Structure 1
Amino acid sequence: MYSSPADILAALNEYRSYIAAESRRALDIFVPFITNAQEPEEGDFEDDFDVEKQRMEVLKQLIGYDTVLDNDGITAPAELLERYDDLAPRLGLDGTFIIDADDERSRKQDEYFSAIEEALKLKCIEEVRGMIAIPEEFRSLAEHVDGLHGPGLEYWRSKFQYAAWWGLIEDCEMYSRRVKTPDELTQWLSMTDMGWTIGGGWELGEGPDAILFAVYCRRPEDDGWGWRYVLSREYGEELFETIPEVLVWNAHFREHDLSKIPEFGEDDMWCLMF
């Protein structure tokens, strides 16, 4: 079962809105500490220590995307909150990333889909070689974003979160390597133990203890082939029939429970940099 472009856009908007709101809640906790932390005692740092510059360095440690902040003239952490709605999508604070230039996006999308599709036809089983292709709903998703990295600020996300779709940040050789043979997929996925037949597929994204695959497969009781999305984890796997199902799951997968963040003090703020 595939989703319509309208269904995918609606699910993507909900995903982005939820994660952007959670990222804002996190920054509402951390930015005041960064802004109000007192300058270190004399002698604690070098004489030319620039405390205001270091506040921005700490912010960049938290969210990444430092060139966006620099290019937009953000010189103080509080300015990010003032311009949050505008900057959040460009800073990946909505769980996605987008390449700025439209012509660059188009070129990289063509490279990605061409490399993946060519490798799929080479590595799939003979039975599906004439029909396996990039799912249309995935192409619909790529019209709006160039990758999905899930919830959380970059500082924690890079350590604990997985990217559902690495997207358009690699080269053609790496794209081709992400395509797997059915035998390689069965090493990661247990769905064949339940009677599924795998025709081919590719690795969309990964991270600590999690890999998301797009799998061209057939149900035990069904003669028809179709794409599913399977998240492989150390203690099991999740199977999704559609892109919207993936987005609903990913919006909450390993999200940071802000109510459990311990009290964040000035020493913690400076430790992010040193």
Structure 2
Amino acid sequence: MHPSEPGILAALSLYRTHIGTHNHRAFSAIIPDIEAADPDDPDLFESDEELEEARLEFTLRLVGYGHDTRPPITHPSDVLTHWEALAPQLALDGVSVYHDASWRNEMRDVYTRGVIRGLNERCSDSVTAWEFPSDLAVVLQHVDSLEGPGWYKYREDHESVIFFEGWVRDGGADDLTEDIAVGRVRTAREIIDRTVGLGEEYEIVGGWACGEKGNEATCYAVYSRPRGTAGEQGWSWRYVACLGQFGTHVFENVVELLEWYKSYGEPREEDWGVSAEGVFQA
């Protein structure tokens, strides 16, 4: 089943709303704890300014220190005050969207060209003219990554699955190169060797690793068809989350992927607490 563009955008909106709402609730609890935190040692800071700077540094570590956001975060409360603007820049709604639209467009084109070039160079035995998956292309017109629930530090500490790493990672906006995108392409044999059970269920021609962040996790876009369907079902792009001991998940399209991913591994309320010791630790 090939979802329509309105269906894809509706699924993307639902995904972002679900994650953004959950994360906003979390930060509505976290930010007041940060602002109220005081060190056990009253002599730890020489001035109120240094104290405030420590609170800000902790906040920036939570959301990804070094992000060039618009507007900038100068106080912990800015995260909530400017939530609508900052959430997509900090992947607080499950995606990253860099503030420079022309740079985003350039990086998307570089990424797409690189993937297609790599597929043509390494996986051309059965496919003579590769095309980028159309449903993912719709998503990437609007976002630069698919990072799932949580915020930067939560994802790092819990080794969360980043399905599509895109081109804005860890606060940086370094230019992606076509060769880097080419290097993410995988042959059918490489994909089968690194996934559990996928080759038994599907015939595979090739694909690429779109995300390699997570505990034992690698995520792929895979050109494939179910085994035993020759002449009945054509080849198509599928999305695969190989999660090691937690199994391999296959999605027929990006709408199915977003429905699963919007709550996979999301923070629980016990993950929202912040202690003064945590705020002021080195």
**One-letter identity of the residue aligned with 1:220:** R
Cα root mean square deviation, aligned: 2.0
1:187 aligns with 2:193: yes
Match of residue 29 from structure 2: 29
Q: 1:135 to 1:261 in 2, by over 3 A?
A: closer
Match of residue 158 from structure 1: 156
1:243 aligns with 2:249: no
What is the CA-CA distance between 1:174 and the residue it aligns to? 1.8
Gaps of 5+ in 2: 169-175
Q: Output the CA distance in 1 between the equivalents of 2:115 and 2:83.
A: 35
Whichever structure has more helix as a proportion of its residues is: 1
Q: What SS class does the counterpart of residue 145 from structure 2 fall into?
A: coil
Match of residue 95 from structure 1: 94
After TM superposition, the structure 1 stretch with the greater mean CA deviation from structure 2, 28-37 or 185-194, is 185-194
Give the conservation status (yes or no) of the 8 Å contact 1:120–1:133.
no
After TM superposition, the structure 1 stretch with the greater mean CA deviation from structure 2, 45-54 or 8-17, is 45-54
Give the conservation status (yes or no) of the 8 Å contact 2:67–2:90.
no
Q: What SS class does the counterpart of residue 212 from structure 1 fall into?
A: strand
Match of residue 62 from structure 2: 62
Q: What SS class does the counterpart of residue 252 from structure 1 fall into?
A: coil
**One-letter identity of the residue aligned with 1:183:** R
Match of residue 13 from structure 1: 13
Give the conservation status (yes or no) of the 8 Å contact 1:65–1:91.
no
What is the CA-CA distance between 1:82 and the residue it aligns to? 2.2
What is the CA-CA distance between 1:90 and the residue it aligns to? 2.0
Q: 1:225 aligns with which of 235, 244, 249?
A: 235
Q: 1:142 to 1:262 in 2, by over 3 A?
A: closer
Q: TM-score, normalised by structure 1?
A: 0.90
1:199 aligns with 2:211: no
**One-letter identity of the residue aligned with 2:207:** G
Gaps of 5+ in 1: none
Q: Output the CA distance in 1 between the equivalents of 2:117 and 2:29.
A: 47
Q: Output the CA distance in 1 between the equivalents of 2:161 and 2:178.
A: 21
Deviations, residues 148-168 of structure 1 (Å, cap 9, x unaligned): 111112111123212111112
**One-letter identity of the residue aligned with 1:209:** E
Give the conservation status (yes or no) of the 8 Å contact 1:132–1:216.
no
Deviations, residues 178-235 of structure 1 (Å, cap 9, x unaligned): 10011111101222223x2111100111222211111101222323111111111112
Deviations, residues 47-77 of structure 1 (Å, cap 9, x unaligned): 79701111111110111154445x5253321
Q: TM-score, normalised by structure 2?
A: 0.88
Q: Output the CA distance in 1 between the equivalents of 2:55 and 2:276.
A: 11
Q: 1:133 aligns with which of 131, 134, 144?
A: 131
Q: Output the CA distance in 2 between the equivalents of 1:80 and 1:192.
A: 45
Q: Output the CA distance in 1 between the equivalents of 2:278 and 2:138.
A: 42
Match of residue 213 from structure 1: 220
Q: 1:92 to 1:125 in 2, by over 3 A?
A: same
Deviations, residues 27-64 of structure 1 (Å, cap 9, x unaligned): 11211111011255343356797011111111101111
**One-letter identity of the residue aligned with 1:53:** E
Match of residue 2 from structure 2: 2
Q: Output the CA distance in 1 between the equivalents of 2:241 and 2:193.
A: 13
After TM superposition, the structure 1 stretch with the greater mean CA deviation from structure 2, 89-98 or 238-247, is 89-98
- Equivalences for 1:69-148 in 2 at 5 Å? 72-128=71-127, 130-148=128-146
Give the conservation status (yes or no) of the 8 Å contact 1:89–1:96.
yes
**One-letter identity of the residue aligned with 2:257:** V
The number of residue pairs the alignment matches comes to: 268
Q: 1:99 to 1:82 in 2, by over 3 A?
A: closer
Q: Output the CA distance in 2 between the equivalents of 1:73 and 1:89.
A: 14
**One-letter identity of the residue aligned with 1:240:** F
